[in-house]
Amino acid sequence: MNWASLVGDWDRVLIPIFRTQYFSNLMKYLKINYETQQVYPEKSDIFKAFKLCPYYKLKVVILGQDPYFTNGRATGLAFANPESSTTLSPSLYKIRDAVEQDIYNGMALDFDPTLEKWAKQGILLLNTALTVRYSEPESHLGIWHPFTKYVLKHLSSNYGGLVYFIWGKKAANNLEFISKNGNFVYQYEHPAYAVRNGRPWECDHFHRATQVIRTYHDEELIW
């Protein structure tokens, strides 16, 4: 298989796990799931987070849970919505508002709901599970755990100076695989939790990341 066509320049990073028996079994399991059940995102988008975020540009890792499991919103990028969406998902609505407050002083901005502009700047929008069955949140969380663990441990061992956004308890379960030595790890509650409890989601990670990237990489992030 031409993995570069699916994951871009991450192929050299991911090929070791792609060649394992675990991953072969995972692909067989997903093939059956996609043939017999409704699974999100589309098969062609499973590894979209990697393909759109060049490895050599990587600056920020935003760790989600699993893809949206209803309404066909899942795109392969954590928290993103399809370009065709007429409204934002509740989590992305909270994220957009937080960006406006944290970066733009509450002023309206030209927000890209696909989050592809973020990805192309080097922001890895990684769900801890890359697939999910329709209306069954966390249904594929366990099968993707070794893959997520591999990615995070590789980054901790080979790619310092990264900013990590850890939102919610499920993302926090992966903290043991992320080295805080030389990285910047910021934790906050999941935006969906704020939605469920009817309160603002006042996350300041965006300006923190901007300052880090400006200082250590001499680059600007555009949120």
Residues annotated as part of the active site: 66
Question: Residue 139, CB half-sphere, CA atoms under 13 Å: how many?
Answer: 18
- d(CA 144, CA 142) in angstroms, rounded, equals 5
Listing from the earlier edge strand, what are the strands of the sheet with 60-64?
123-127, 60-64, 163-167, 184-188
Task: Give dist(CA 2, CA 86) in Å, integer.
Answer: 35
The secondary structure of 115-155 as a DSSP string is -HHHHHTTEEEEESSS-EETTBTTTTHHHHHHHHHHHHHHH
Give 132's strand partners. Answer: 40
Q: Of the candidates 182, 176, 55, which has an alpha carbon nearest to the alpha carbon of residue 126?
A: 55
- DSSP line for 159-207: --S-EEEEESHHHHTTGGGS--SSSEEEEE--HHHHHHTT------HHH
Q: Which residues, 6+ apart, have CB-to-CB distance to 152 below 8 Å?
A: 61, 174, 177, 178
